[in-house]
Amino acid sequence: MKLAKCAIALGSNLGDSLATLKSAIDTLNSQPEITVKSHSSWYQTVPIGPPQPDYINACAILEVALEPEELLAKLLETETKFNRIRREKWGPRTLDLDLLLYDNLILETPTLTLPHPRMADRAFVLVPLAEIAPDWVHPVTGSAIDKLLQAADCSGVQKLTVGKEF
């Protein structure tokens, strides 16, 4: 199978979020069909949705030997390993893994939309993604990630100084 280049977003705001995110990257990288090529810095971000703690977010670039639906299943399986429980939309979580981009694929199935339908509007995705893939062109908008970032409100996103408590 041909290898695909993918971008994912990672987020956590329950428990030891930084440790969870680092372990999630290691868990994904230990899968034989997944290679983590790079990941962004960690960012503290203001949550969307109900009142809850701030998030730590990042993005990663993966090289995978999986079809999109298979990769999504691996991401959901990884969330479950880290005790992800889905109680309310946009609620707090131990781990959130979103498949943002899969090569330049545009896909709409009952369980997966590519590119991620809200990624172009979310600074907590665009800031870390622009750090590691500024020139990746969003296949729907036709704009590079760094261009999309220029239009985003980044006021709720700040680079985390590792070791800093919040």
The boundaries of the domain holding residue 146 are: 4-159
Q: 125 by DSSP, 3-state: which?
A: helix
164 part of a folded domain? no
| Residue of 26, 54, 84, 87 marked active site | 84
Is pTM beyond 0.85 here?
A: yes
Residue range 95-102: mean pLDDT, rounded? 96
Other C-beta atoms within 10 Å of 89: how many? 8
CATH number reported for the structural domain that contains residue 59 in this entry: 3.30.70.560
Residue 39 backbone phi and psi in degrees, to 5: -140, 155
User: pLDDT digits over 32-91, tens only?
Assistant: 999 999 999 999 999 988 889 999 999 999 999 999 999 999 999 999 999 877 666 667
In a domain, 12, yes or no: yes
Q: What is the mean pLDDT of the chain?
A: 93
Per the domain annotation, does 166 fall within a domain? no
Q: What is the pLDDT of residue 126?
A: 98
pLDDT of 166 reads 38
* Overall number of domains in the chain: 1
Q: For residue 165, is it within any domain?
A: no
pLDDT at 48: 83
Helices (H), the chain: 17-29, 68-81, 123-132, 145-150
84 is catalytic: yes
Active site residue 86: no
User: 65 CB contacts (<8 Å, ≥6 apart)?
Assistant: 1, 3, 4, 33, 34
**Active-site residue among 16, 26, 54, 98?**
98
Instruction: Answer yes or no: is 82 within a domain.
Output: yes
Look at the block and give the residue holding tokens 């479950």: 80
Cis bond upstream, residue 115 (ω within 30):
yes
- Annotation says 93 is catalytic: yes
Considering 96, 118, 121, 153, which one is annotated as catalytic? 96
Q: Measured between alpha carbons, how far apart are the two ends of the chain, in Å?
A: 43
96 given a catalytic annotation: yes
Q: Domain for residue 134, yes or no?
A: yes
- Residues 115, 24: Cα–Cα separation, whole Å: 22
Q: Which of 16, 86, 93, 153 is catalytic?
A: 93
